[in-house]
Every structure is written in C-alpha cells, then in structure tokens.
A and B are shown apart, each in its own frame.
Chain A
Amino acid sequence: MRKILAALLIGAAAAAGAGAAMAQDGPLRIEIDQGVIEPLPYAVPDFVPETPAASEYAAQIARVIAADLSGTGLFREVPASAHISKVTGFDSPVKYADWKAVNAQALITGAVSVNGNQLTVRFRGHDVFAEKELGTGLQFNGTTDGWRRMAHKVADAVYSRITGESGYFDSRVVYVSESGPKNDRRKRLAVMDYDGANVQYLTNSASIVLAPRFSPSGDRVLYTSYESGFPQIHVLDVGQVQRKVLSSGDGTMSFAPRFAPDGRTIVYSQTQGGNTDLFSMDIQTGAKSRLTSAPSIETAPSFSPDGSQIVFESDRSGSQQLYVMPAGGGEARRISFGEGRYGTPVWSPRGDMIAFTKQNKGRFHIGVMRTDGGEERLLTASFLDEGPTWAPNGRVIMFTRESQGSAGRALLYSVDITGRNLKPVKTPDGASDPAWSPLQN
C-alpha cells in the first residue's frame, strides 16, 4: 500500500514538475470559478435641490431610491455618515477616489427642481471603480404628488443598469385587506405601491372578495365577489373605480379568474352540478368556451406569457397536482411529481419558471420549478404560506403568510427566487391574496 502511495506521489510530483517546466505559450491564463455572493455597496447622497421648493423632495427621493435598491437584497447602501465628499452640483465632476475609499461601487447623483406643481428629477449613475457613468443620465418630469413614482423610476433605471434585468419598483399590488377577528373578518380590495405606500381601497367591506388579479396593462382588476350570495367574477377599472359582473348569475359558481396576456380573454373555474372545470370567456362578447371536461376539480389557471399554454391544478390523479395544457384546451401534461400536494401555480413573466404553493407533512411552502417540472426549489416553510405572485421582472415573489392560532393574521411577504431576502411587506391591516401589476408606464 505504501509503495503504491509513494508511486502515486512520485508520479504527481513528476507531472507537476513537467507542467512547471513546460514553456508558457502566450499570456498567462487562469480560470476563476469561485466568487462571492454579497450585496453590492452603493451610495446615493441626497439629490441637489435646484429650486427652493425642491429641497423638500430632494432628500426624500434619495431615501426612496435607497429603500428600493437595498430592499432587493442585492445592494447595500454606504451610509451618508461614511461619505467623504459631498455632491454640491449635478454637473460637478465626481471625485471617484472619495467613493472608492468608502468602497461604494456604484454612485447615484441627481437633482430636483420644482416649478409650480411640476417636478423635474434628473439623475446619473456612476460605476465608481471604472470611473465612468453607468449609461446616460435621465430626466423625469411629473407632478409633485407623483414624487414617489419618480423615485421608483430612478431606482428601476439604476437596478436595470447594474443587474441587466428590468426593475420592478414602479409597480403596484392589489390585495385583499383583512380587518377584524378571525371569525368575523372584513375583507375589501385594496391597491398599493409595491412597497406598501399609497394604499387605496377599491371596494367596501359589505361582502367577501377574493383573488384579485391585474390585467396585463394594469388598468383593470378581476376578482371574485360573494355580493350576490355565491361567487361571481367582477372586473373593476382601477382608475375610475367602476365595476361590472362578468359571469352570469344562473346559479353556477365562478371563481379563480385570470387575464390572458392579450387582456381580452379571461380563464376561470366554474362549478356546475358538483363538478369544477376550466372555461375561457371573451370579455367583450361574453362568449364562453369549455377548456376541460374531467370529473375531477380543475382550478387556479394561469397563462404562459406568450398565451399559448395554461398551467392549472387538478386532483385527477387522486391528489392535487399541477398540469400544463394548450391554451385552447386539450391534453394536459402533469408537471409536479414530488411528495405532497401542489396548488395555485403562476407562470413567471419571463416564461421560464412556475411558482406554486406546496403542502407537505403539515407545512406549507412557496416554491418554484421549471415549466417542465424540473429543478423544483422550495423557498419558504411555515404554518401557512400560499398564493404566490410574480414581480414584473420575474425575480421576486410575493405571497400570503398566515400565522397560527386564534389571534393569527394574514400578512404579505416577499422573497427573492433564490430563497434569500425573505421579508414582510408593510400593510396597514392584515392582507392576503396579493397580485402584482406590470410595470407602470
């Protein structure tokens, strides 16, 4: 044995020696396949107020940008107390050495001016170590009451330039606001900015509302209401707060609606004679067509972003699993094969993943898998997690987490698709059933 080991060592040494003695051809080549994953440090000093009335907004806008970027978990702000140089003018040259010294790898500078109720925000991003600008500067014009949106737009632009992905900060979330004790909970539809600001209620709490879903353009919301005593699908114009009933009130129950990517068709579940199947409906004409006709329960349909396929949950195999079928109906292919039960699938806006709720061994999980069911990854684990919704860029998932016990309440949480950065979303009351809007125009 010793002889063999010695022979191996001699062989290894000889190989190393031969390698070292070999003449090098061309430049030195090395391969780096290990790095670190940590938030990228950046600095966003207060924006420069260019008019007296702008000073009110200049600092606030910088704070919203910092909250957006740091909130992703991909960036870490270098606090203002560590800054060496101050930005005194928007067009002044940046002293990169000062920002390198505090290890800020990206720097955002900007200026704000107010004229009447018109607000103008200009900004530039800088790659500190490369000592150059990150793309060209941009200018946003708007009204003063939209200052938060303008901050989100700046953060979106910076996020996109650094990560190469589109942002998601200038977006809204519609959800069910819940107040009152568990046995007498009052539910109403609410819409807010993605970060919990600017909450606006869309319905009163006279009747139960469920599962709101944004249209692809973000101007309308589909939801299920029990106003008539049994579930019916309504569509609501977010801007005008006007609504109308979509499903007919002929005693059938309609629920779990979702828009097709074209915004003209919806797909939903309908229960008739004790059997639940999937249907699609043209919103303008009201023409319906049946997509499934199995004796099992089919529900929670969600379109692929190209509109060609639908993912849904069904118990046709004996337990609740996920299936994919063509958008016009037809043969469905099962994609979930793990332990436990799978439900509420949602197709990612990028088209490459499906988020779902999984129940296994008494725990609930939010997970993601490829659209063929491969690479399943569970991101969370708790007493009750359900109802995932994707951020417009397909990088973050928001969902409902309900705590245990009679005092338990539902809250919204968000998590990165890597499973990092799990955190609650601030809402004034309890909240459930979130649905993320697309990026606003």
Chain B
Amino acid sequence: MQTGTKISLAGHGLLMTWVVFGAWFPSEPLPSNVQQVALISAEQFEKLSQQRQAPQVSPEPAPLNEPAAVQPAPEPAPQPDPEPEITQPEPLEPAEPDPQVTDLPEQPPEPEVPVEVPSAAEEPEISSLVPQVRPETAPRPVDRVAPEPVAPPEPDTRIDDIVQPEVAPEEGAETEQETQEATAREAASDRIVTEENEGEDVAASAAPAVSKRPRTRPARPEPEPQVTEAAQPADTSDAVADALAEALAGGADVEAPEPSGPPLTLGEKDALRVEVSRCWNVGSLSTDALKTTVVVGVSLAQDGKPDTGSIRMLSSTGGSAAAAKQAYEAARRAIIRCGSTGFQLPPEKYSQWRDIEMTFNPERMRIK
C-alpha cells in the first residue's frame, strides 16, 4: 500500500471517528462570573468614604431649648455650710509605760508544720535548660498578686500558707484519727488584672516567658592570706612559730569569726529566698518606694528565728530617703513575719547563715 493511501486512510478514519463520537463529548465553555461595574466620579467616591468616618462633633453646641412656660418651682438658694473648725494637729507626748503591766504574754507559738512546702528551689537543675512557657489560662482578677497564681479555694476552706487535705474521723475506724481542717493557699494572680485586660485570653505560646541568664564563671578562689612577716619563715614546721603566727595574725578574728564549713547550696539559698518572698508584701508601698532597692542585714538565732534588734538597713538605691524607709519597713515586716517560726536552714551550717544580707529589689513588682 502506498504511503499516501495510508495517510489518507488514517485521516479519514480520524474524521469518521470524530463525526460519530464527537457529539458525545460536548465542550461547553467554563462558567464565568460576570460582575456589573459602575463607574463613579472622584467626588462621589470621596462622599462615600467620608460617610464611613466617625461623625464629627460640631464644635458649636446645639441651641438650647427654652425652658417650658411652666416655671419650675424655685429651689431654695443654697446656703453655705458652716465650716467646722479644725485646728492644726499637735504632736502628742509618748505614752508613759504603765508600771502595773510589765510582762506581756508571749505570743502563742505557732504549730510546727510537719509537711514541707514544696518550693521552686527544689526543682532539679535541668529546669534551667527547659524554657518556661507562658500559662495558657487567662489571669483572674483577685486581690492578691503573687509570683505563682493560685486557684480560688473551696468556699469553706480556711486560708493558710500550707495546703492540707481535710481529715474527718471515719465512723467505725479502728485507729483514732486526728481531725484536720482543710486548708488552701489564698487565691492569687500572677499580675495585676485591670478591667481593660480582664477578659483577655493569653495566647498559648511556646516562646519562653523567662530566660535564665547564663551563670557567671565562678571566681577564682582567693589565695590564702599572707601571714605577717613576723610569722615567717613560712616553711618552718616549728609548732612554736605556728602558735606565734596564729597569735599575731588571728587577733582580730576573735571578734568576727569568718564563716567556716561548707557553704549553703543553691537549693538551700533558694528555699530561704522563697520563704522571705512569700511575706514580702509591696501592695501598700508608694510608687516611689517601689523604685527603691534596699539591702537589709539580719542576724539569725540557731533556731532560724531572726533577731529583730539586729535588722538594719545597710544601703538603698533608686529612691528618696523617705521611700527607702518605707521599702525597708516592708522588708523588715517580711523577715519578722516569715521568720517567726524560724527559717528552714540546715543547722550544721549555722555559721554560714548566722549573718545574712538580703537585697529586696522591687523592679519586677512594679506594674505586672
């Protein structure tokens, strides 16, 4: 068969196929949306966009309605009130102590708390590697702002620092059970909630809320203090020379012995920090006092109770003298209140925590 015939047959075959089957596959145009567009002038557009703006308040007040024909009964002309006379205050003399009453009853000792309060300080060190994620729940407006938010307790629950479940004696129980009233921490929010942000949901975010600063490199241990020349030569092992050197160099140390023994661990320091911060109430401080950092020195007895007479302000920064006084008073109240049952410190390290310098820095407590 000739090549031309083959091409002709193939072409005719295709033509016939299209004639027979072509109608079965109709190709309709795709549906398209037609939108009517009206052209408007620039002036019309301006008018339309002006209407969207908030109505302007006319600077001229609307004319007043004349009072109705019926005149209101004239009200009696206000008469001035006689001003109460108050003279300037006079300072009072301090009260003479009543000789009859001498011994004031001791404050009833607070019951020992057998359960240790779990503190943030006891978290393992690995927590510093895990970013703290913002809580997902919105803050509730409550009276108390504390570092850790606390859910509102049951209505009948007594408010206490320690959370304890209720224990009621079971009837028919073999062993005698001690009753225990349920206690819960007072409800607290971790920031001040105003009406404006009351209903706000805090978006859950994986971004860390707090990033810990990298630890600074520990300082090199200081070299041993040089023994005075009188005690030289240093290489002698003569006991007499040693005793002489000690007598000559150690005279001042008798008054203020340096702390010895192992220092407090970071966890023990954190536990003390948490104990004091729970009583450090800055709610009644002035805005000026909230800008003042005070360093307070205190000496503790061996049972962990602060010696109130030893509490003193060592220094202050950031505010006036009056503000520093207020800030110091709040710090002192915190130490006395939370130390009234004795701070939880390791007794074997007493020489390390006998004297403490506490820096109260309210920077993070201003407006949260």
Binding site for B on A (CB under 8 A): 5, 8-9, 12-13, 15-16, 18-20, 22-40, 74-75, 90-93, 95-98, 100-101, 105, 122, 124, 127, 129-131, 133, 136-143, 145-147, 149-150, 153, 157, 162-165, 198, 200-206, 208, 226, 229-231, 238-241, 253, 271, 274-276, 297, 341, 365, 377-382, 395, 415, 417-420, 422
Contact = CB atoms under 8 A, between A and B. Distances in A.
A139 B308 CA distance: 30
Contact of B97 (A93, A147, A205): A93
B75 A205 contact: yes
A37 B59 contact: no
A75 B105 contact: no
Given A23-B263, A29-B359, A163-B326, A93 B98 contact: yes
Given A36-B144, A129-B336, A164-B289, A276 B59 contact: yes
4 nearest CB pairs, A to B: A146-B84, A419-B194, A137-B92, A35-B280
Interface of B: 54, 59-61, 63-64, 67, 72, 74-75, 77-87, 89-98, 101, 104-108, 125-126, 128-129, 143-147, 186, 188, 192-196, 198, 215, 217-219, 221-222, 259, 262-266, 269, 272-273, 276-289, 297, 308, 322-323, 325-326, 329, 332-334, 336-337, 340, 352-365, 367-368
A34 B86 contact: no
Contacts of B79: 241
Contacts of A162: 284, 326
A382 B87 CA distance: 43
Contacts of A133: 94
A146 B81 CA distance: 11
A342 B61 CA distance: 20
Given A30-B273, A33-B363, A140-B89, A379 B195 contact: yes
16 contacts: A12-B128, A20-B266, A23-B263, A24-B352, A27-B355, A29-B356, A31-B359, A31-B361, A33-B362, A35-B277, A35-B280, A91-B98, A133-B94, A139-B90, A143-B85, A229-B64
Nearest to A97: B107
A253 B60 CA distance: 8
Given A12-B128, A36-B144, A146 B196 contact: no
A125 B67 CA distance: 56
Contacts of A98: 105
Nearest to B86: A142
A269 to B, nearest CB: 9
Contacts of B368: 37
A129 B86 contact: no
B72 A136 contact: no
A140 B194 CA distance: 38
B366 to A, nearest CB: 9
A39 B142 CA distance: 11
A127 B330 CA distance: 11
Nearest to B110: A101
Given A20-B263, A33-B363, A297-B59, A145 B74 contact: no
B81 A200 contact: yes
Contact of A378 (B67, B146, B194, B272): B194
A35 B362 contact: yes
Given A12-B215, A202-B78, 19 more contacts: A16-B125, A32-B276, A36-B147, A36-B281, A36-B282, A38-B145, A129-B336, A131-B308, A140-B86, A141-B87, A142-B85, A164-B325, A200-B78, A229-B64, A231-B61, A274-B59, A380-B196, A419-B192, A419-B193
A241 B195 CA distance: 39
Contacts of A202: 78
Contact of A74 (B85, B215, B284): B284
Contact of A149 (B84, B198, B266, B352): B84
A74 B281 CA distance: 11
A143 B352 contact: no
Contacts of A74: 283-284
A34 B221 contact: no
A368 to B, nearest CB: 10
Contact of B194 (A15, A147, A241, A420): A420
Given A38-B144, A208-B64, A93 B92 contact: no
Nearest to A123: B92
Contacts of B367: 377, 418
A3 to B, nearest CB: 15
B216 to A, nearest CB: 9
Nearest to A224: B61
B150 to A, nearest CB: 11
B64 A143 contact: no
Contacts of A226: 64
A130 B221 contact: no
A5 B126 CA distance: 10
B104 A124 contact: no
A157 B353 CA distance: 39
A208 B325 CA distance: 50
Given A74-B283, A200-B81, A420-B194, A22 B218 contact: yes
Contacts of B97: 93
Contacts of A22: 218-219, 221, 263
Contact of A28 (B72, B108, B218, B353): B353
Contacts of B87: 140-142
Contacts of B323: 164
Contacts of B143: 38-39
> For B222, B272, B286, B359, which residue has the most chain A Cβ atoms within 10 angstroms?
B286
Contacts of A130: 308, 329, 332-333, 336
A140 B81 CA distance: 21
Contact of B80 (A12, A131, A204, A239): A239
Contacts of A382: 195
A99 to B, nearest CB: 10
A187 B95 CA distance: 52
B363 A165 contact: no
B335 to A, nearest CB: 9
A24 B125 contact: no
A204 B74 contact: yes
A188 B112 CA distance: 63
Contact of A138 (B92, B266, B280, B282): B92
Given A75-B284, A136-B91, A204 B64 contact: no
A301 to B, nearest CB: 15
A40 B281 contact: yes
> For A25, A153, A165, A229, which residue has the most chain B Cβ atoms within 10 angstroms?
A165
B296 to A, nearest CB: 10
